[in-house]
Every structure is written in structure tokens, then in C-alpha cells.
Amino acid sequence: MFSRWNWVACGFYLVLNICSPDASGGLVQSCGHIIPESPVLALGSNFTALCILNESCLDFGNIYASQIIWKIKNRLVPKEQYREINRTVSSVTFNDTSSLATPLTCNILADGQIEQNIYGITVTVGLAPEKPKNLSCIVHQVSRFTYVMTCTWNPGRHTFLDTQFRLKYRWPEAVFPDCIPKDVNNSCTVNDIQFFVNTEIWVEATNALGKAESDRLVVDPIDIVKPLSPQNVSITSGLLPTVLQLSWENWISDAVMTLKFNIRYRIAGDTNWMEVPPEDTASPRTSFSIQGLRPYTEYVFSIRCMKEDGAGYWSDWSEDKTGVTIEDQPSKGPPIWRIIDTSQSPACWTVHLIWKALKPYEANGVILQYELTVRDKSSLSSPVKKYNVTGTNHTLQLREGTYEVTLIARNSVGPSPPSVLLIPASNSKAPVKNLRTLPKHDKLWVGWTAPNNYVLKYVIEWCLVSSSSDCTIEWQIAQGDVQGIDLKGIKPFKCYLITVYPLYADGQGSGQSVKAYLKQDRPSKGPTVQTKKVGKAEAVLTWNHLTVEEQNGFIRNYTILYKTIDGNETVVTVDPSKTEYTLSSLTSDTLYTVRMMASTDNGSRTGPDFTFTTQKFGKGEIEAIVVPVCLAFLLIVLLGVLFCFNKRDLIKKHIWPIVPDPSKSNIAQWSPQVPAKHNISSKDQMYPEGSFTDVSVVEIEADDKKSFSDQDLKPFDLLKKEKSTSEGHSSGIGGSSCMSSPRQSVSDSDEGETTQNTSSTVQYSTVVLNGYRDQTPVQVFSRSESTQPLLDSEERSEDHAGGADSTAQRQQYFRQNGGQDETNTDRPCFERTKQITHASEGDLVGFVQLQISGQSSQPLGLGMEKNTQEAAVSNVLQTCTEGQTVRPETVEENPLSVDEMPKSYLPQTVRQGGYMPQ
């Protein structure tokens, strides 16, 4: 173990020996070195390096080989690869040099703490050169007399080392300097070339790991020449419209080598070249005539040459030269077709004649004009019409019939053969069958099955279908022996309408049409769906067809997708011809989202979402509820009206009572006697303030039944009989009543009480049938005038009472105060009654109060009308005091039964100046 001072001294010594003249890369050289020094190693081979320490370092610093560590590019090499040979030498071994990197260093680890670099080397790993392959040479003619030879080869794999290639060549008795490539390793050019002598050529490759040579190539440079292409090429037209003369100049002399040629040509604008047969140009020459060309056509020519025997290489093609053949008569007539418009009148045709311009190889020149001839075959006497046209269409106005149209195209040389078109009166011939289409790359093939009859030609029409413009027709003629044709210029994703007409010698067949796409795509947009009608459980959806520009193909089906907010989506497929669909089995009062998708063969497109809400009630449900309710209400109203109509008298009595007009009363006319007014007895003076105006009271006593004669009882018998049939329906008032003066209103009350009012004067009359103080009974009618309303009062049980113990009863009635002035209205209107007794039911004592209207004038003995109130025949006691309620005071001995008891109508309250009705 070193002491601290020993290590300090050792470190100082090492510092003094750094950077000696033999140092390299800043490493310490004096304390050791590595062998081999900077080796070049084969990739993948084994390698062992030795680090040898100097004795001087060992003696001074006590450094030994066991302290050596190895590193590759600052990466420690595992100690398993170390081996200590002696105290000054340590080795490291690598089984595969592919893991080596630069630099490889030898280091000392002193006292386990200080690491010091001793030495380092650069390791180069690579491969030995491979044998060059595919050596070939070619002699290029640079100018008329200058030639150079360029040789090329395959250098082989990459060696990762600096490898040098050399091209060597020699004659049998001469050796030439090596050709060293510049900037490349696979070719080299030799400038000094000699013809007609065999030359040996090869390639040598060399690097630090070895050397390799290619195979030897022995060749005469004249056999590997690539001459220059012919120069100064010119073209002239001959006397014939199908021949052009081609001339050129050769730049290699025949003394050096003889040449053969290759000529190619094409029509201007075409990319396909045609060649003259090689045997026609296999001998030396400087010109050639090319035949079989098209008249009045521009051609492009090019030429090349090589050694006549085929040894060597073809020259490059010469520059393109053009030439035009002269004109000739058109080779065929222009194709002609027609479009007949019968919209104005079926008997008058507007015929649009159209024809195609001849192609250049058909026109054989410039077409100056077209000569058109129209002959009416329906009438032999019709003159032939001729037209000279410079365009490619002409319109005629013709009558319905059969016509023959002849068209000739003329240029400067002459006319073309005629083109004949037969326009029949009707397309009565057989059409083609099984018309179909099939896309083929950028063309659309149209096929059909020929009719049974012989066909001269077929006319194929097609046009681009558009929703915004008319269909512009294009057409093409095919020969009668074909059953299919390729249409060019068809655009993808566009719909075309294709029609095929067969043309016969004596007529024309009807056209058959089909729609087709060259290529389909999914629609540009989806359909927009709306609701036409929404019900409780169904909704009618409607949409418009996509325009033909938006379809991009054949619509195969529509798909409706709908769902509720939180429900699953339901899918319905609809036929493409439909524009309306009804969704059923929907939930009432529910929001639905619906969208629609259109599909073609190449995809689908979905339209925007649309929402709707189903109705809460279905069709007719509200009507089913409202109509019965309304009918029931109308029925109830009708029944109510009928009931009111049948009970109109009773209702009128309670609501609008019939008030008789006293001024029209006839009671005075049939009253047998009107008693005179008399003074009131002394007992009536108990009401000094009360007054009775115009009321007559007659008091009659009847001690027994014998005092009444049969004639006197007849009115009562009549009343009893009438009571049994119309009881409760009388409009008269039985009992007692008293009225105020006609000049006083019922509302005239000191306390201001509200009372019922009547607008007419009411007269009351009292009929009393009884003996008055043993006098002969007579019928007495008393009348009074009053403004009180004619009202009914409830029948009160206490109003009727009788006594069986007494043998005679007295009845007290209203009395008239004859001594009072008519203008005095402040007196009470009722007096206390007297009692009247009856011995039996036969001793009938009563009174009848009659309500007399202007319409009733029959006497009582002849029968009273139903609106007359029956007399209250009972033992009644009434009291009348000012401002008090009237109460009856009755002692009844033998009360009447309910059926026999008459109804009476009594006032409830008597007040000064009027009374309150019950």
C-alpha cells in the first residue's frame, strides 16, 4: 500500500513525463505502449492487444500490470477479457471485432482511487475488396474523328476501408498507363483508342486487407462503337399525297465503318411511333422515301444508325423533324343524324340535321363546304331541295313524311362519297334488345343484342343528364356488324342517358334507352326530411329526391333512422322511388329525432337531423269527447226548453205573473149587486191609523144549512168539482186581501224597505155567499183597486183550523171602510175577523177571492178558468196589526181532510203603506 507521500511523488513524476516527443493524442507514452499499433482488422475476426509498462514507471511508482484496465471509447471492457502475462504486460482479447470502437486505451488504477491513461490506439475495422464484376466498355464518337472509350464495372460490397480501383488495359506487346477513376469507383474513361487491334482490359481493387481483380476482357474497339446519330435531317413531300421523302447526313466515314439505319414516324399529336421495316434500311444510305401515309397529315420523323454487321451500339435518335403530306379527296362522307321536334304540331316537323366534321385522315384536306340534298320520298313530284352549308348543322321545316337526306363534304381536291340518311314517317322497325352498359377504365362500354333483321348501322346517342339545363346530345355511328362500342369522354360521377337506334335499308327502329355511370360515388348530401302530418302514434315523413348532380350514382335505397331522446335508434329502409313514408307505433306526446340516409353502390350520406313531437290525442279523440258532451248539453237544453214550454204557465206565474188590468175588468157588469159603503163598527176603531180604500166588505151569517137554497149552493158545488181537477193550478188568491189606494206604490214605505213592484194596477174582488144577519143570501161582488202584485203564498197548515165542539161558527172577512176618504192611505188594511161555526161539512161557509183579468168575463156560475184561485173554505182566523205578521186564530171542531182543505194565499207581513208578500 502506497503512503500518501509516495503517491504524491509518483503523480509528480508522471506529470513531468507527459507530452514527450513520442506522445500521441495527449496520452502518456513514457510509462507504456500498446501493440499492435493502430491495426486494421477484418470485420468479425478475433483480436488481441497487449499493454506493456515501462520499467522506469515500475521502479519509481510501484505500478504493475495487475493494475491495468482497458476501455473502448471510455467504456470499460469486462475483466473477463483481461489476462496478466507478467508484472509489466497485460492483454485483452475480443472474439468479434464488430464490437470494437476507437479509441482502445490502456489505463492504470493506482491505490484504487486515481485512474491514469497510459496509452491508446486507433482500431480500424473493415472488409477486404471483392472481385469486380460485369466489366463492359463502349467507344463513344464525340466528333467526326474523335472517339473515347468508357468502361464500367460492379465494384462489389462496401469495405468500410479506403479501397482503390484501377482500370488496366494493354495490347499483346504494349502496356498502357492505368486509368484511375475520379470521384467514382465503378467507371473510368480512356481517351487514347486504337481501332482494328485487340485490347485486353481488366479492373484491380486494393485496400489494407487485400487485393482483387476482375475477369479479363479482350475486344477490338471498332466493335464497341456507338456512332453519332445522322445529322441535318430534312423532309420533303412528293407528288403523291401518301409519300414523304426523308434525307440526312452521316458523320462517320465508310472507311471506318459502314452503317445501317432505323427510321420511325408518328402523326403529330399522337404518342405512338411507327417504324419502317429494318430490312428496308439495312444498307448504307443517306435518304429514304416513306409510303402509305395519310393525305394532308402532319408527321414527325426520327432516325438512328449503327455498324452494319450489328456489332456495337445504336446511336441516339436524331432530333424530331415534321412534314405534311399533300391534300386528297375526302375518303368518306361525314356521319349525319337528325333530331325531330314535333312539339308545335305532329304534322309539322322541325328537323335538326347534325353531322360530325371529318377527321383529318378522313377529310384529306381542308373542307370548304357541305352540300346537303333533301328528297321527299312520300311524293315523287316534290322537287329536290339543295343547300350549301359551311357549318355542321342545319334546320329544316318539313311536313310529316319520309325523307332521304344526302350529305357531301368538299375540299380543294374534290367531293367526298355521299352520306345518306333516311328519315321515316315512323320508327316502325324492330329495336335493339338487352341494352346494357359496363365501365372499362376511363371508357364506358355500351352493348346490345342485334334484332333479327339485317341492320346497316347503329346510332348511339348519349347526353349528360342535368336538373338545371337541357340534355346536350352527343352521338356516334357504329357499323351494323358490331354489338358494342366504347364511349369516350365520359366523366365519372355523372349520369348519362344512352339511346341506341338501329338503321335499316328501308327504315329505322325505335330507340332503346338506359342510364349509366362511368364511376359512382356516395351522394354529395343527404336528403332533408320533414313531417307532412303528425298524429298520436304515427307521423308522415316527406322528402325530395336528390338532384342528379347530388346523387353521384344510382340511389339504391333510402334509410330512415329515428329515435327518442333516450331510446334506441330504429332503422327503416325505403324504396328509392318513394318520397313519403309513415312511421307507425310511435309514443304519444314524445319528442323524436329523425334523419335520412341515401345510399349508392359506393357509399351513403346522411342528411340533417329533424325533430318532431307526436300529439297527445289521436285523430277523433277530442271530437269523440266534445261532440257527445255538446250533444248531451244540447239535449239537456232542449229538454229544459220543452219542460219550460210545458210548464210555462207555472213558470210565468213565479217569474212573470200575469197581472190583470183592472181598467179592463168587467166584474161590475155581471155583479148582481154592489153594496153601498157603510160605516165601520166601533170595534174597528182600534186601528185609527189604518185606512181601507175602495174595499167593500159584506158580512153574512148562516146559522144552519137550511138558510142556503139549492140555487145558492150551486156555485160551491161547481168550485168543489173544479178543485178536484185543477187543484194547485189556480192563479187566484183565496182568503183575505186588502190593498192600498191605486195612487200609492208598493214601494212607498217609511222605512225604505225594498218590495216587489208591479207596473200595472191590480183589482181584487171578493164574493161572499152567506146570509147576513138573517137576511136573504145574495151573491155580493166587491171590488178594489191596488198596485200590489198578484203573488202566491205558501199554503200554511196553521191557516186552516176548525172546532167540532161548537155548533155554529162565524167567519170574519175584510171590510171596507166606507167612511174614509180615498186619499187616506195611512190606515191599517186588516181587521180582526169574527168566528163562524158550522154544524157539519154540508154547512159550507167560505169566501172566494177572484182575480179578474181583462180576458176573463165568464160568470162564476158558468165555471171559472184555471187561472182563478179556488176559495179557501176553512175556519180561518186572521189578525192584522200595523207592522206585525198576520197570524190566524182558529178554533176547529171537525177539521177537514187534506184533500178537502182548500188552498189559501195569505200576505205575510202588513206594514204601513203596503205589505211584504210571502
The pLDDT tens digits for 286-306 are 999 999 999 999 999 999 999
What are the tens digits of pLDDT across the range 14-31? Answer: 444 433 333 333 444 458
User: Would you state the pLDDT for residue 495?
Assistant: 94
The average pLDDT across 175-200 equals: 90
CA distances, 590 to each of 472, 529, 565, 566, 607 (Å): 51, 18, 9, 11, 22
Residue 850: pLDDT band (50, 70, 90) is very low
- Cα 636 versus chain centre, distance: 53
Which comes out higher in pLDDT, residue 808 or 46? 46
Which comes out higher in pLDDT, residue 144 or 658? 144
Q: Do 516 and 498 meet the contact criterion of CB atoms below 8 Å apart?
A: yes
Whether 576 shows a pLDDT value over 90: the answer reads yes
User: Would you state the pLDDT for residue 357?
Assistant: 92
What are the tens digits of pLDDT across the range 138-170? Answer: 999 999 889 999 999 999 999 989 999 999 999
- pTM for the complete prediction? 0.48
The DSSP H or E segment spanning 724 is helix 710-726
The average pLDDT across 680-693 equals: 44
The average pLDDT across 270-281 equals: 93
| CA gap 550, 589 in Å, rounded | 36
What are the tens digits of pLDDT across the range 579-603? Answer: 999 999 999 999 999 999 999 999 9
User: Would you state the pLDDT for residue 501?
Assistant: 93
Q: Do 342 and 425 meet the contact criterion of CB atoms below 8 Å apart?
A: no
Whether 329 shows a pLDDT value over 90: the answer reads yes
Whether 453 shows a pLDDT value over 50: the answer reads yes
Residue 653: pLDDT band (50, 70, 90) is confident
What are the tens digits of pLDDT across the range 41-58? Answer: 888 889 999 998 887 777
Please state whether beta strands 124-126 and 40-42 pair in parallel, antiparallel, or not at all (unpaired).
parallel
User: Would you state the pLDDT for residue 468?
Assistant: 86
The average pLDDT across 600-609 equals: 93
CA distances, 343 to each of 376, 440, 649 (Å): 21, 38, 84
- Determine whether 516 is exposed, middle or buried from the number of CB atoms within 10 Å of its CB (0-12, 13-18, 19+): buried
Q: Is 718 helix (H, G, I), strand (E, B) or coil?
A: helix
User: Would you state the pLDDT for residue 111?
Assistant: 65
